[in-house]
Chain A
Amino acid sequence: MSNLRPARSLASRVVLTVLAILLFGGVLVAGSTWWNGQQAARQSYDRILVGAASDIAESIRIRDGAPLVNLPVSAFELLAQAPDDRIYYAVTGPDGQRVTGLDDAPLIDTPTRGADPVRFFDAALNGEPARFVQVTRRFVERDFSGPVHVTVGQTLRARTAMTRALVLDALLPMALAGAALMVFAFLVIRSALRPLGDLVEDLSRRDPHDLTAMPTDRLPSELRVMLGAMNRFMGRLDGQVHAMRNLISDTAHQLRTPVAAIRVHAESAVSEPEPEPRQRALDRLLLRTRSLGTLLDQLLSRAMVIHRTDSAPRAPIDLREVALDLMDRDDHMAIAPGADLRLVIGEDPVIVRGDAFSLGEAARNLLGNALRHGQQPVSIGVTRTGPEAALWIEDAGQGPDASVIARLGDRFNRSAASGEQGSGIGLSIVTSVATAFDGRVDMRATDAGFRASLIFPAEET
């Protein structure tokens, strides 16, 4: 498994990759340099060979009907430019008979003679690889006519030495440059990765409860992206933790009063000897218990909504379906049996991005408020205005005071006017849902009465 091997560090990975690239490039460059050097050496020494052969060819004279070579020293001095190389030379007449040469016997088989006056070929000279050239000079004299071939050859030591020298001359600075590049690359990579190391150190030194964002300034943009993602993640985590704390403290806060009231009612019922007051106490106890049930429902619903708005994927939702669901559910029957409900929706779907459950909960709370505090008839409507989609509940009453509207949605907003029935949680659910899906809550008086709207950015259908 890959887990068994210790993971290589980013720096070593990059350094190894750079090294591999440099080595690969070095091999390519070395190969091409070697090839170039070989070509250069071959060309220059081939020229020397041709020069020497032409020199010898120039020195051929026809005397007494036969070619005679006054072998020029200059040709051999030219060949001696390759000071350590063996030399071969031979001059042959038209029928291949020997005019002069290094040895009595021809040592080299010349390949088939072409028309080209200068022909190169490779062959072994006394067991050592060598390069040869054959130059032909044609004579047309009274007593001699025909071609005379001059073959000159040379072993390859000087060529090899020149190739090696050229390659070394080219490669040595390149190797040094490569080494310098490696060092630079190492330093650059180390300095480039330093912010990462600082980040790691910062993280490991951090208090486990510290979920505040890490500073992203003076960071490379790549790291900033990563750190941004991490900061957002921490932010969500922080939000969740906050929500959980709020929920717990809210729940404790909200439950304390009703539970205390229930205890008081129960105690008074227990201690009341008279049947009539006892019955009243019991009725109040029942009412309080019901109200506690509703409160618990709302608390649960709010916790659910907060959880979902953070975690549930957002899907395109048709607000008309939310409104229809609301109509079909019979929750409101418990609050206001036989209420006069109306549905105001259009033909076209009104799509927003959100979570169906959360939207439903928010709408249900608005409807509950309208039924509880407003006057019937109550309309449930969905409209689209330009880029905005609205789900609204409208009742025929005056609506709450402006001061109440201003504080709507706050936690623990249980005003005197809301009485024992409301808890203030309902509207906080509504505002939570609205902000979670980039929307807002709008409450205003209309011609028909009072309208509370959940407004979201509309999705194009």
Chain B
Amino acid sequence: MPRFLLPLLCLLALSPLTAPAQEATTRFGDGATSFLMRSTTDIGIIRPVMDRFAALNPELTITYEQWGSNDLFDLSRDDCQSGARPADAVLSSAVQHMVWLVNAACGAPYRSAVTAALPDNRRWRDELWGVTTEPAVIAYNRRLLAGADVPRNRFAFLDAMRARPEFFRKRIATYDIAESGLGYLFAYADSLEATTFGALLEGFARVESVATCCSAEIIQGVSEGRYLIAYNVLGSYVANANLPDVGMILPEDYTLILSRGYMIPKGAAQAGVAGRLVDFLLSDEAQAMLQRAGLVTQMDPAETGLAVSARRYVPLSPTLLVARDANRRRLLLRFWSDTFMQAELP
């Protein structure tokens, strides 16, 4: 099984051997009550929103810890199972982890008029709420790819790769799904969505696409012209990178839309504040700020040109448990690596 072991070995090599630790920590406010928030969202992106919340609640000292999604999941699960003091609020883009945690009774219920107004696919059990709206986009280099050449949907993308394999060789990037939780989630959603997934993987393999780990690196590569097209990049990262050479497309056949999951861990010391925070995050004011930060994309068809029927929300529902299933994951990873490897051979 060498083909299969390779990604796992990569994963092992990349895994830190020491205990996981947060990537960064920031404090907002200097009130008497301490409030701990753990998130996968970059502090730089969400800072204005947290500043505003701290200003509205001067009694709080908010400690904002930024984590990698897998570490955050492990930590939250351990806290839940050991009964250690959890964070007061957890916000993660790896929604399959959040669904797992809520399913394992690690969340505390909260209900308000604001959370009740959320659509079903952005709320589960009143313990998990989707606070952002972020499409998975095709990013491209504006300089190197003329407007007419930009694929508007996956079929056009496939056709382009078939038509000009030399042009695209080693210049298409996507997440390495073995390493990136987000990449895996999108690949999983793609695999459910359409048969184009297999064709896409084959196409990627044929043009020797690059599977890499990190959003920032992918977007930087597109901007610099190393990659012509990056597939399934989170739109919010593209928007935040704010690079003039990087354009983005919402695929017209269907666009995956991710909503970051917010939950209040069971036993949170400041559950009440956490409830206020989710109400605030869902308020018009915070949503407008999140929109400026790129975390909320207006999905109005008039603006995006995307039909309502083409929106595919990653629903906050127990079906996401399938994404975390070990067998299922193994099968998907094997399919992924098989396709990539086979294509490389001829």
A and B: real partners? Answer: yes
A residues with CB within 8 A of B: 68-73, 76-77, 79-80, 83-87, 89, 91, 99-103, 125-128
Q: List 25 A-B contacts (CB under 8 A).
A: A69-B325, A69-B327, A71-B322, A71-B327, A71-B328, A72-B322, A73-B192, A76-B322, A79-B318, A80-B319, A83-B124, A84-B124, A84-B125, A84-B126, A86-B103, A86-B104, A87-B103, A87-B321, A100-B326, A100-B327, A101-B326, A102-B103, A102-B104, A126-B104, A128-B105
| Chain A contacts for B102, CB-based, 8 A | 86
| Known contacts A71-B328, A99-B327, A100-B326: A83-B120 contact under CB 8 Å | yes
Is B317 engaged at the interface, CB distance under 8 Å to the other chain? yes
| Chain B contacts for A72, CB-based, 8 A | 322
Is B308 engaged at the interface, CB distance under 8 Å to the other chain? no
Q: Are A86 and B318 in contact (CB under 8 A)?
A: yes
Cβ 8 A contact of B327, one of A68, A85, A87, A103: A68
| Chain B contacts for A68, CB-based, 8 A | 327, 330-331
Q: Are B322 and A73 in contact (CB under 8 A)?
A: yes
Q: Are B105 and A100 in contact (CB under 8 A)?
A: no
Question: What 0/1 readout, one digit per residue, does chain B (87-123) give for beta carbons within 8 Å of chain A?
Answer: 0000000000000101111000000000000001000
| Chain B contacts for A84, CB-based, 8 A | 124-126
Q: Are B321 and A76 in contact (CB under 8 A)?
A: yes
| Chain B contacts for A83, CB-based, 8 A | 120, 124, 317
Q: Are B105 and A103 in contact (CB under 8 A)?
A: no
| Known contacts A71-B327, A99-B327: A126-B321 contact under CB 8 Å | no
Whole-angstrom distance between the Cβ of A157 and the nearest chain B Cβ: 8
Q: Are A80 and B328 in contact (CB under 8 A)?
A: no
A68 to B331, CA, bound (A): 9
| Known contacts A73-B322, A84-B125, A86-B318: A127-B327 contact under CB 8 Å | no
Given contacts A73-B192, A102-B321, 13 further A-B contacts (CB under 8 A): A69-B327, A70-B327, A71-B325, A73-B319, A73-B322, A76-B319, A76-B321, A80-B317, A80-B318, A84-B124, A100-B327, A102-B103, A125-B105
Cβ 8 A contact of B325, one of A100, A125, A127: A100
Whole-angstrom distance between the Cβ of A266 and the nearest chain B Cβ: 119
Interface centre among B105, B327, B331 (most CB of A within 10 A): B327
| Chain B contacts for A91, CB-based, 8 A | 327
| Chain A contacts for B325, CB-based, 8 A | 69, 71, 100
| Known contacts A68-B327, A73-B322: A103-B104 contact under CB 8 Å | yes
| Known contacts A86-B318, A102-B321: A127-B328 contact under CB 8 Å | no
A91 to B322, CA, bound (A): 13
The 6 A-B pairs of least Cβ separation, nearest first, read A126-B105, A100-B327, A76-B319, A69-B327, A71-B325, A71-B328
Whole-angstrom distance between the Cβ of A129 and the nearest chain B Cβ: 12
How many interface contacts (CB-CB < 8 Å) are there between A and B? 60
| Chain A contacts for B331, CB-based, 8 A | 68, 70
Residue of B nearest to A86 (CB): B103
A84 to B125, CA, bound (A): 5
Residue of B nearest to A60 (CB): B327
Whole-angstrom distance between the Cβ of B187 and the nearest chain A Cβ: 14
Residue of A nearest to B188 (CB): A73
| Chain A contacts for B105, CB-based, 8 A | 86, 125-128
Interface centre among A83, A101, A128 (most CB of B within 10 A): A83
A99 to B325, CA, bound (A): 11
A126 to B106, CA, bound (A): 9
Residue of A nearest to B103 (CB): A86
A73 to B318, CA, bound (A): 10
Whole-angstrom distance between the Cβ of A56 and the nearest chain B Cβ: 10
A80 to B322, CA, bound (A): 12
| Chain B contacts for A87, CB-based, 8 A | 103, 318, 321
Question: What 0/1 readout, one digit per residue, does chain B (153-197) give for beta carbons within 8 Å of chain A?
Answer: 000000000000000000000000000000000000000100000
Question: What 0/1 readout, one digit per residue, does chain B (306-318) give for beta carbons within 8 Å of chain A?
Answer: 0000000000011
A380 to B322, CA, bound (A): 121
A70 to B192, CA, bound (A): 12
A237 to B205, CA, bound (A): 121
Whole-angstrom distance between the Cβ of B186 and the nearest chain A Cβ: 15
A360 to B308, CA, bound (A): 116
| Chain B contacts for A73, CB-based, 8 A | 192, 319, 322
Residue of B nearest to A98 (CB): B326
Question: What 0/1 readout, one digit per residue, does chain B (203-216) give for beta carbons within 8 Å of chain A?
Answer: 00000000000000
A72 to B328, CA, bound (A): 9
Whole-angstrom distance between the Cβ of A100 and the nearest chain B Cβ: 4
A84 to B318, CA, bound (A): 9
| Chain A contacts for B319, CB-based, 8 A | 73, 76-77, 80
| Chain B contacts for A89, CB-based, 8 A | 321
| Chain A contacts for B318, CB-based, 8 A | 76, 79-80, 85-87
Residue of B nearest to A70 (CB): B331
| Chain A contacts for B322, CB-based, 8 A | 71-73, 76
Residue of A nearest to B106 (CB): A126
A68 to B327, CA, bound (A): 6
Whole-angstrom distance between the Cβ of A247 and the nearest chain B Cβ: 94
A84 to B322, CA, bound (A): 17
Residue of A nearest to B125 (CB): A84
| Chain B contacts for A76, CB-based, 8 A | 318-319, 321-322
| Chain B contacts for A77, CB-based, 8 A | 319
Interface centre among A70, A101, A127 (most CB of B within 10 A): A70
Residue of A nearest to B332 (CB): A70
A84 to B120, CA, bound (A): 10
A84 to B126, CA, bound (A): 8
A364 to B322, CA, bound (A): 119
Whole-angstrom distance between the Cβ of A162 and the nearest chain B Cβ: 17
Whole-angstrom distance between the Cβ of B119 and the nearest chain A Cβ: 12
A84 to B109, CA, bound (A): 12
Whole-angstrom distance between the Cβ of A160 and the nearest chain B Cβ: 14
Residue of B nearest to A128 (CB): B105
| Chain B contacts for A99, CB-based, 8 A | 327
Residue of A nearest to B331 (CB): A70
| Chain A contacts for B126, CB-based, 8 A | 84
| Chain A contacts for B120, CB-based, 8 A | 83
A91 to B192, CA, bound (A): 22
Residue of B nearest to A91 (CB): B327
Residue of A nearest to B191 (CB): A73
A128 to B109, CA, bound (A): 14
Interface centre among A86, A91, A100 (most CB of B within 10 A): A86
| Chain B contacts for A128, CB-based, 8 A | 105
Whole-angstrom distance between the Cβ of A102 and the nearest chain B Cβ: 7
| Chain A contacts for B124, CB-based, 8 A | 83-84
Question: What 0/1 readout, one digit per residue, does chain B (327-341) give for beta carbons within 8 Å of chain A?
Answer: 110110000000000
Whole-angstrom distance between the Cβ of A269 and the nearest chain B Cβ: 124
Whole-angstrom distance between the Cβ of B325 and the nearest chain A Cβ: 4
